[in-house]
């Protein structure tokens, strides 16, 4: 399995980690998990989880398409690892209430996804 495929797994697990963080502490009500009274960093962790789910599908598709077109594997792996690092930073910026940094990290992640599509297009 390639590094990029391991990154797809990591991207798929990241929302679960953020969800666990959003439920940490004494404010979480498992009887109403979607309607819990979250505030502060727990609420931001929930938002980060939602954003991580939104980012997962385009990233996973881009990795698969790049593999199917036999794009340069080093480029695929580099972009995939960079995407994961940026998404971890994005989650941390969300938790730390750093909106400008968070937006910059989000932009970097989406540029990695676009880069994967460009690599695929060049190989096709």
The residue extents of the domains of the chain are 3-25+38-123
- 3-state helix, strand, coil split of the chain in percent (to 5) is 80, 0, 20
Which CATH class for the 3-25+38-123 domain? mainly alpha
pLDDT in tens, 81-122: 999 999 999 999 999 999 999 999 999 999 999 999 999 999
Look up the pTM and report it: 0.93
Contact (CB, 8 A) for 63 and 118 = no
Hey, what are 84's tokens?
């994961």
pLDDT-derived band of residue 71, with 50, 70 and 90 as boundaries? very high
């Amino acid at each position: 399995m390639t590094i990029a495929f391991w990154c797809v797994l990591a991207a798929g697990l990241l929302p679960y980690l953020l969800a666990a963080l959003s439920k940490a502490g004494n404010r979480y009500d498992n009887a109403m998990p979607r309607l819990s009274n979250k505030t502060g960093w727990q609420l931001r962790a929930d938002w980060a989880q939602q954003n991580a789910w939104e980012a997962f599908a385009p990233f996973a598709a881009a990795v698969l398409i790049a593999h199917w077109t036999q794009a340069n594997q080093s480029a695929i792996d580099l972009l995939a690892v960079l995407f994961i690092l940026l998404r971890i930073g994005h989650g941390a910026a969300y938790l730390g209430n750093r909106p400008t940094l968070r937006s910059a990290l989000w932009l970097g992640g989406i540029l990695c996804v676009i880069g994967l599509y460009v690599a695929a297009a060049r190989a096709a």
